Amino acid sequence: MTLQPDNEIAALFDPNFDEPEPAIVAPGALPPSWAAAMAANRAAATPAPVQELAWPQAPGSSIAAPAPVASASAAPDAEPEPTGKGKRRGKKRGRRGDPEAEFTRQVAAAKKRADRERKAVRLALVGVEGNVTRTRRQSTAWFVQPPGPWNMRPVGKQRRYIQNEGLVVANLAESGVIGLHRRLVRTPWPVRQWAQAHDGWADPIPDVPGALSWADYLRGQQHAMLWGNPTQKGRYWGVELPRRSVLAQGLDTLGQWLLPVIDVPLLGRIARLVRTWARDAFLGEQKAIADHLATIERHLSGQGVNAKPATAAQMDYLMLRSATLGLPLDADGVICGGGDWEESDVAALEDLTTLELTPGEGYTTVRGQVGGRDYTGYAIVLTLGRMAPLPIPEKMLPWQVLGDPSGEPLEWSERISLKTKGQTLRSLRRLTSKIEAQFDHYTVEHDQVPPQELAEQHALAQRVISDIEEDHSGLSVRTEGWYRVLVVGSSPEEAKEKVSLLQEMYAPRIRLEPEHGQYQLLREFIPGEPLANIAHCRRMNVEALSAGMAAVGDRIGDRTGVVVGQTASIAPRPAVWDLFAAHEKKHKSGLTPIVAVPGSGKTFLAGMLVYQAVRAGAYGVVLDPSGPLKKLAQLPEFRGIAEVQALTGRTSRPGSLNPYRVIVDPRRGDPEYDPTSPDYTDDADPVAAAQSQYEADLRAAEAERISVAVSVLKMMLTPSRLEHQWTETVLQTAANMVGGDRRHNLSEVLAAIATIGDSKDETNVDLISCARSIHQDLATMSQLSEARVLFPEEGTIGDGEDGDRTVRLTVLTMPGLQLPPEGTDPAQWTPQQRMAGPLMHMAAWMANRLVYELPRYERKVLFLDENKYLEQTGAGRTLNLRIARDSRKYKVRALVCSQLPDDYLGVDGTDDKSALTYEVIIGDLGGNAHAIEGALKLLNLPLGEGYESLLAGLGGGGEDTLDEDTDTEHLDQARRFIVKMADDIELIRSDWTHYVHLAHVFDALDSRATRAAIGGAP
């Protein structure tokens, strides 16, 4: 196997990435690795076999991995050796001739001495048994805490998170635990596992020759995810167990002495026997403290930590990651889960990396191999220094996640000494006595005024004593600890720049101190290693300690579904959404409101969700009145399985929106009418009960057609006509005369109205006059070109047959539709503008029919744009409520766009659908205070806790201005959304910069009114 040369630490997750990511990547630009691959394909007629970029579905792919590019390692320049034939001559020249030579000699001597001292140091760890690591003197039990939520939680709940974790630490102290070693490690976000799970979750559409294949689609998705260097946290709690017995310590020491002769015939047998005795002694100690271990496990598994004993694989990752700090993360290559570690296994940890020290430089050079390639990293360990009072959670993130927004995979090591209530009181009283003695020394012995600091320290100590004595919650338990955070760069300069950035992020309330002895500080991260130094000891109670909340992060979505964007609250990682988990796993509604002002990117986001869902095998129906999404149906990969239906204009089909045809009858063969269904087990005659239910639903469909026909005709009338007292009676009577069978149409209702107006038997003159006026108005409206889809040609009943199941994507467009301007009195609307309401209403019913006529078990995505015009009518609100309630039964993910949250909150006496919204997407609300208040209700967040400012700042990044010198909007064009999935609410950046394999999809979704966007010359 040919090994690659040293590479930068920036190649953290992509083994084929040979160049650092540029500072700013233009949208749509090919990443360097792909550009190299394309260049290699053009240069070579027959490309050589190379390692795959990421997991594909099939071995063959049109996107080749880039050829490896050699790069020189960024090692510090070696110091030149002094010249000279003899030692004396060299020293003489160093003294008299060249002053720099003496300094060079001293540096070289210091380096040799440091190397010699390093070789003399051996790991204190002796072995690992289960989740317990042991040294000759101490054993530590390790538990793993899962990542927890934090963002967009009320302050009261965040404070409970802190207090619950603090109580766990207090309970450990009361149970006799005197020390903790907590480690926060990073693992790569499982991009390959996502691709495998996504491939199993999806039923992908067939590949089309010349279009993006499913395998290349998965490959491109992974490559784009890897660009963001996403990681996830793993927090280990190492609980120090009671000190080991003298016998066990002696056996472990003797076993280590005899380790070099273990292969000698006679002495080796003795050595193996001693090691067996040492292990038996350790196991005996564990049995003796079994109750103590059970108590520890009970405390850590409780609310606040929810930690479980580390598995064999988790222990492997902890050991191997701790021994390779400074090198790229590698989850797949190091976790074997083999179980217990013997002393020879522990000794192998020292060979994983080569550490080099440069005295005075303040960093440790780490060299090693990951995935068969050589890497060099430069590690700097920072220690938590002085801390001011921290307003957590009211105004700050937890102090251990303040650096996470930098995107660096920071790792923490915490050495904590727990003090019980009694120990703390004794220590404080001794301190108080010392202060009083110093006070007497000034006042009694020397008759001087003591410094003010003595009085302040005495008052502080007394206050702490009072708090501890009066506290019964356990949160006053005190701790002493040393907290280290690791920063890694691909060069010394980069590492120091990252340190400066991190210090700025923590300033001014917290200082991060770069200390001397970087090698020993780096070794401190390894379980079992001693404390490097005692400088910067931080003393705090368990509540302040737990305010670090190192395990919290961005938690939203799953690791199976489609990509929404990336999290943007604490640390960036892919936000992935299983569109049908609410239906298949949680039995919740599939209604998803997307609320934002025009131009905020909601249509683009919904289009990307529809594209990914249809690629994965779902049926998609899009109602896009403005029409730009019709280009989705023209994508090469949807060739033959997508269609565009124009509901207005010259290409529209007459009668295609006939209410009597759009609303379908229930199917007798549906599972809900099966007599063997559990719904009919309690009926005496299941067959008759099922038939009765079918007939009832059939009558309900007929009644719904009558109601929708009346609603459509009412929307065509002017407000003055609607205010007439007999208008409702005329329309309802005419519709009832026609009936609710599917063979009718609106022209028959107009004829029935005319019959009422010409009736000779009717004595109500007002009713007859109203019917004649209504017929005259509706007859005029029916002659408009926009109305041809509602009124079929004479002798026909209009289009509306069951759809073709081979069509996976249907886009309904309404070109030329004149929507009424906002804020205009309906009395001022033109006839064409009045037609917009009924057309939008029936188009939504058409989209609804295309979805609900499919089998219930099929996955479906429905996208309704411009929902505000539906909510203006009672029938439209009823339609939305039906979508919200029935989407779970029919496995429909309904993406409904609107500009105001009021459309879902039931204001003005309408139906409140907020309880049915299991997922919500909120975009830029334009700073409108009323809209922001409604969005918080929709997200189920309290008012007055600071969320208002977050919602007011949504949208794109940078400052948007027409001044070319100050416009910074281009620096971050990704739109930001608040996304709610179940109880998780996060800030998401809809960033698609590196998804270059979907460039053709972005072009199709570009709705900008520019010449280039509409196909003209650039």
pLDDT in tens, 883-916: 777 788 888 999 988 888 887 776 555 567 777 7
Between 862 and 802, where is the model more confident? 862
In 3D, which of 926, 264, 1017 has the Cα closest to residue 598?
926
For residue 118, the model assigns a pLDDT of 52
Give the separation between CA 818 and CA 786, rounded to whole angstroms.
10
pLDDT of residue 549: 93
At residue 270, what is the residue type?
Answer: I
Q: Residue 1008 has what pLDDT?
A: 57
- Name the residue with higher pLDDT: 134 or 620: 620
pLDDT at position 982:
86
Question: Does the pLDDT value for residue 28 go beyond 50?
Answer: no
Q: For residue 577, is pLDDT > 90?
A: yes
Share of the chain above pLDDT 90, in %: 29
Place of tokens 């053709």: 1000
Residue 917 has pLDDT above 70, yes or no: yes
Of 325-334, 697-706, 785-794, 976-985, the poorest mean pLDDT is in 325-334
Where is average pLDDT lowest: 15-19, 507-511, 966-970? 15-19
Mean pLDDT of all residues belonging to the chain: 79
Predicted pLDDT at 5: 36
Task: Flag whether pLDDT at 18 surpasses 50.
Answer: no
Q: What is the pLDDT of residue 1016?
A: 36
Q: Is the pLDDT of residue 542 over 70?
A: yes
Q: Output b/e per residue, 485-523; b: 16+ Cβ within 10 A.
A: bbbbbbbbebbbebbeebbeebeeebbbebbeebbbbbb
Q: Tokens for 571?
A: 């640390």
- What beta strand segments (E) does 750-891 contain? 809-813, 860-864
Q: How confident is the model at residue 966 (pLDDT cuts 50, 70, 90)?
A: low
pLDDT at 499 over 90: yes
CB atoms within 10 A of CB 653: 15
CA distance 771 to 752: 10
**8 A C-beta contact, residue 886 and residue 697:** no
Q: What is the mean pLDDT of residues 1009-1013?
A: 39
Cβ-based neighbours of 711, under 8 Å, separated by 6 or more: 838, 841, 873, 874, 875
Rounded to 5°, angle at Cα 354 from 351 and 357 = 145
Strand, helix or coil for residue 722: helix
Residues 31-62 have pLDDT tens digits of 444 444 445 554 554 444 443 434 444 334 43
Average pLDDT over residues 249-263: 68
Residue 872 has pLDDT above 70, yes or no: no
- Give the C-alpha separation, 273 to 565, whole Å: 58
The pLDDT score that the predictor gives to residue 61 is 40
SS (H, E, C) 221-287: HHHHHHHCCCEEEEEEEEEECCCCCHHHHHHHHHHHHCHHHCCCHHHHHHHHHHHHHHHHHHHHHHH
CA atoms within 13 A on the CB side of 83: 2
Q: How confident is the model at residue 10 (pLDDT cuts 50, 70, 90)?
A: very low
Query: What integer pLDDT is reported at residue 500 of this predicted model?
Result: 94
- Residue 795 scores a pLDDT above 70: no
Assess contact for 797 and 660: CB atoms under 8 A. Answer: yes
| pLDDT value at residue 271 | 73
**CA 849 – CA 630 distance, rounded (Å):** 19
Q: What mean pLDDT do residues 106-125 have? A: 65
Residue with the bigger pLDDT between 217 and 95: it is 217
Higher pLDDT, 385 or 670: 385
How far is the C-alpha of 166 from the C-alpha of 531, rounded, in Å? 23
Cα separation, 828 vs 818, in Å, equals 14
223-240, pLDDT tens digit by residue? 999 887 888 888 999 999
pLDDT above 70 (res 97): no
636 vs 553: which has the higher pLDDT: 636
User: What is the reported pLDDT for 601?
Assistant: 86
- What is the pLDDT averaged over residues 787-800? 72
Task: Match 């930098």 to its residue by tokens.
Answer: 406
Q: What is the mean pLDDT of residues 347-360?
A: 78
- What confidence category does residue 110 fall into, taking pLDDT thresholds of 50, 70 and 90? low
- What span, in angstroms and rounded, lies between the C-alpha atoms of 8 and 425? 52
Token couple for 712 = 């459509």
State how far the Cα of 866 lies from the Cα of 840, in Å rounded to an integer: 9
For residue 357, pLDDT over 90 is answered with: no
Report phi then psi at 412, rounded to 5: -120, 150
Kindly state the percentage of the chain with pLDDT values over 70: 79
Helices assigned H by DSSP within 54-174: 87-92, 99-120, 155-174
Per-residue pLDDT averaged across 656-679, rounded?
A: 85
Task: Indicate the pLDDT class of residue 526, thresholds 50, 70 and 90.
Answer: very high
Q: Is the pLDDT higher at 864 or at 85?
A: 864
**Is pLDDT at 637 greater than 90 in this prediction?**
yes
Structure tokens, 907: 């204001």
Measured between alpha carbons, how far is residue 431 from residues 220, 426, 463, 537, 592 in Å? 63, 9, 13, 17, 61
pLDDT given at position 881: 72
Q: Express each pLDDT in 438-458 by its tens digit.
A: 888 888 777 787 888 788 878
> Between residues 116 and 187, which one has the greater pLDDT?
187
- Report the range of poorest mean pLDDT among 51-60, 192-201, 287-296, 477-486: 51-60
Query: Can you name the residues that pair with 456 across neighbouring β-strands?
Result: none
Mean pLDDT over residues 556-560, rounded?
A: 85
Q: Is 60 exceeded by the pLDDT of residue 730?
A: yes
Mean pLDDT, range 664-669, rounded to an integer:
84
pLDDT in tens, 200-212: 999 999 999 999 9
Top pLDDT among 775 and 840 is at: 775
Say whether pLDDT at 64 is over 50: no
Higher pLDDT, residue 287 or 318: 318
pLDDT classification of 115: cutoffs 50, 70, 90: low
Of the candidate ranges 83-97, 356-370, 483-497, 891-905, the one whose mean pLDDT is the lowest: 83-97
**Whether pLDDT at 70 is above 70:** no
| H/E run at residue 614 | helix 602-615
Q: d(Cα 262, Cα 260) in Å, to the nearest integer? A: 6
Residue 205's pLDDT is 93
Lowest mean pLDDT among 86-95, 588-597, 999-1008: 86-95
**For residue 307, what pLDDT is reported?**
93
Does residue 495 register a pLDDT over 90? Answer: yes
